[in-house]
Amino acid sequence: MTDKHFTIALAGNPNSGKTTVFNAITGARQHVGNYPGVTVEKKAGAATHGDVRLEVVDLPGTYSLTAYSIEEVVARNFLLNDKPDVVVDIVDSSNLERNLYLATQLMELGVPLVLAFNMSDVAEGRGYNIDDDKLAELLGVPIVKTVGHKGKGITELLDAALAVARDGQAVASQRHPNYGSEIEPHLKQLTGLVAEKCDKHRPRWFAIKLLENDAETIKRLRQACPQHIEELLAEAERLRRHIESICGDAAEIILADRRYGFISGACTEAVTQSVEVRHERSDKIDSVMTNRYLGLPIFALLMFLVFQLTFFMGNPLVDLLDSGKGLLAEAVGGLWGESGADSVLRSLLVDGIIEGVGAVMVFTPLIMLLFLAIAFLEDSGYMARAAFVIDRLMHKIGLHGKSFIPMLIGFGCTVPGIMATRTLETRRDRLTTILVLPLMSCGARLPIYVLILGAFFPVNTVLRLFGILPVTNHALWLFLIYIIGIALAIICAKIFRATLLKGEATPFVMELPPYRMPTLKGLAIHMWERTWLYIKKAGTIILAIVVVLWALAYWPKLGEEKLVVFEQRRAAVQADAHPDKEQTAELLAEIDAAEHEAKLEHSAIGRAGKTIAPVFKPCGFDWKISTATIGAFAAKEVFVGQMGVLYSVGDDVDEESVDLREKLAAKYTPLMGFCIMLFSLISMPCMVTVAVTVREAGWRWALLQVTYLTALAWVLTTIVYQVGSRLI
Amino acid sequence: MNDANVNPLPPMPLTMALVGQRVTFAGVRNAGRGLTHRLAEMGLTPGENLEILNRGSGPFIVSIKGSRFVLGRGMVHRILVRPG
């Protein structure tokens, strides 16, 4: 019996362990969407507690509720507009004072509130003694101690949250900061004016925000009560001037200072602390990780380990899936027997879907491991250190270390990388970062590299790291590709900062969370979320594209009169009854290949490919690569799928299926292989990236991004191919 | 707020502070309202203590109210502090 449906919003600072609490409450029942109009991820999940159904919304992590970042505005608007039944503020108990700042804002906003003192085990282990009953009394808000990653205290937290949601008086018993005799009377006066003229529900909140000259609030009130807004603004401005003349600082600074004073007062009474030990271990690790001389080498080594481990563990799995795909193709193809060579359905299933989608799917283990590694860097707290360490290099290109975090995320996927640029302070920094982000080679490009490397460069171990970890030539090639991407990003960013996006480096602030051992559950959820997107994409968009490509490669079919020619040649070779059997077989294979080629060239895609092929000729691409390159615009991994289709449609079905890699190796040179990798690295970003860039930066910048990257790819690949083919 | 009476030393840019030194936040120069407000919300209000933990080749790592922050190079030039 479900009596009611409650909505719980989770608020909290970044790094407060909000996500672990969210995971502990909802488990795997999560869905990710976007807040309307902005690309801030909206995470929600369902849960049941007793007989109550809960909808849990994970608000973006924020330090405050001002209007300085999209996240804060989104969190605030959700609380104001969607009016959740209760808000749970996740507080890092080992860092109470700072974390309670958001709580004071939530109390001022007047939402039904419960505080979860998370990581309470860490706080206790570090010598904090928190009298939570006393603190709850001082703040007028229930407090529950939790340990998110162990699932401790979650039941109690939900009990408390539901009690508050059902209690109509919960908000009334909350305390809020008193701003003292210089400000409080003026604030009351303004509150009265807001209540009278505009908003009766949260007059104090709006009055405070008016004193802070908060742009979003002014916009909101202008819409709510256009006839009184000027009067309110005039009064607020008068009070702001008055406060500034008395206190010597702007009103918003005084208000922030008083909020911290209010928190500090409560904590002095309820918290005893032996010594400041919270960061002891973290600081020790940092003395090595962020060391002036060791920082960069350690960073480079970590990056290399990420790639190396990904391949060391991922490649055997990829090979396994690949042979599985081969068996599946044989089994499905076998259903038609000898007579089925001409079956359209068989060609669609085997040559189209299994070869096309399968080529993409077999790389899932690699993608999974890469996402796992990135999740580890994020969850452990190293990401922020990397930003600090890399700042020196980033500064040289006119960006700062913080821009590096979106770029690192871009190694997984460009789209979340572009979204992560929102943490950057200025539009100039954001635009520069967005423009060069696609040069950070994303996970979807990995299958292309692995396919090419497997085809042209026999794998071998070139050295052993620390005497044990084998490093293959493939890992070095890949590292080279990634480095080329990074180097190009640096050069392009520098050019943009010197021309279109001129300006001084902007000041930035970034919190360094204490190092934490990531939890298995957290890593698993992070990894799975992103891997699932990859699989889903393969099963939907890529499937659809592959079917279209298959059809384009299948029809129109070569006329009978042309096919007869090949039959005659085959018959002639066989009739010849050459004593050397091998030579006969070779001749037959040559004829088969020629027939396959003729069929493809006759098809729609062959004709289209031939039309565009001249454009790509200087890069060393034939028409097949050219079409696959264009197909890669839909999604980078389509390249692999499309090559799979192109090299299997029209193939002689009786022949034992030759690996795609072997076919490529027979057809192209290693130099062409390298050119394919280079072009795939640089050329236009995928459709989804373009769409996100349009949303985040506008279509002009998206257009610039597509054009400059494609032009750069063409020019560089042409140079490499032309110079390379003369040298070799 | 007016701690000029308490601490007579003139403010200096944060860049002049040494690793391990504890200083008192005095204000921000050449900064817009937004930046000053954000710093205040982080806990960096006039009179607040901060400790310099690391000064790389540009940005600093400082401790403010028990948290570690990276302050970018543009920031450390603008932040004014007093020793002690």
The average confidence (pLDDT) of chain A is 85
Q: Which residues of chain B have pLDDT under 50?
A: 1-4
- CA distance to partner chain B, nearest, from residue A513 (Å): 7
Q: pLDDT at position A54, please?
A: 92
Q: pLDDT at position A662, please?
A: 81
Share of chain A above pLDDT 90, in %: 29
* Cross-chain Cβ contact B39/A509 below 8 Å: yes
CA A232 to chain centre: 42
What are A355's two structure tokens? Answer: 């070869």
**Mean pLDDT of the region A218-246:** 91
Interface of A with B in 482-541 (CB under 8 A): 504-512, 514
Q: Is the pLDDT of residue A653 over 90?
A: no
What distance in Å separates the CA atoms of residue A585 and residue B57, rounded to the nearest whole number?
A: 68
Domains and CATH numbers, chain B: 12-83 (2.30.30.90)
* Cross-chain Cβ contact B59/A64 below 8 Å: no
Which chain A residue has the Cα nearest residue B71? A509
Q: pLDDT at position B2, please?
A: 47
**Mean pLDDT of the region A307-315:** 77
| Residue B12 near chain A (CB below 8 Å) | no
Containing H/E element for A506? none
Q: Is the pLDDT of residue A656 over 70?
A: no
Q: Is the pLDDT of residue A542 over 50?
A: yes
| Residue A209 near chain B (CB below 8 Å) | no
Instruction: Please give the CATH topology (third level) of the domain spanning A5-166.
Output: Rossmann fold (3.40.50)
- CA distance to partner chain B, nearest, from residue A99 (Å): 10
* Cross-chain Cβ contact A511/B46 below 8 Å: no
The single-letter code of the amino acid at A235 is: E
Backbone angles phi, psi at A500, to 5 degrees: -70, -35
Q: Is the pLDDT of residue A91 over 90?
A: yes
What distance in Å separates the CA atoms of residue A515 and residue A616, rounded to the nearest whole number?
A: 49
Q: What is the DSSP string of A288-324?
A: HHT-TTTHHHHHHHHHHHHHHHHHHHHHHHHHHHHHH
Q: pLDDT at position A101, please?
A: 94
Residue pair A102/A12 in contact by the 8 Å Cβ criterion: yes
The single-letter code of the amino acid at A702 is: A
Nearest to A388 among B1, B45, B70 (CB): B70
Over residues A17-72, the pLDDT tens digits come to: 888 899 889 876 666 655 555 556 678 888 999 889 999 999 988 889 987 777 88
Interface of A with B in 96-135 (CB under 8 A): 97-98, 101
What are A617's two structure tokens? Answer: 């000729």
- Write out chain B residues lying below 8 Å of A249, CB-based: 1, 46
Backbone angles phi, psi at B27, to 5 degrees: 155, -175
Q: pLDDT at position A137, please?
A: 92
Looking up tokens 């000064």, which residue turns up? B55
Q: pLDDT at position A28, please?
A: 64
**Mean pLDDT of the region A294-301:** 90
- Write out chain B residues lying below 8 Å of A283, CB-based: 53, 68
Please indicate whether residue A391 or residue B56 has the higher confidence score (pLDDT).
A391
- Write out chain B residues lying below 8 Å of A183, CB-based: none
Over residues A560-613, the pLDDT tens digits come to: 888 888 888 888 887 876 677 777 877 887 787 788 778 888 888 888 888 888
Please indicate whether residue A463 or residue A578 has the higher confidence score (pLDDT).
A463
Nearest to B1 among A249, A290, A402 (CB): A249
Please indicate whether residue A193 or residue A598 has the higher confidence score (pLDDT).
A193
Please indicate whether residue A573 or residue A212 has the higher confidence score (pLDDT).
A212
Three-class SS of residue A114?
strand
* Cross-chain Cβ contact B46/A257 below 8 Å: yes
Q: What is the ipTM of this complex?
A: 0.86
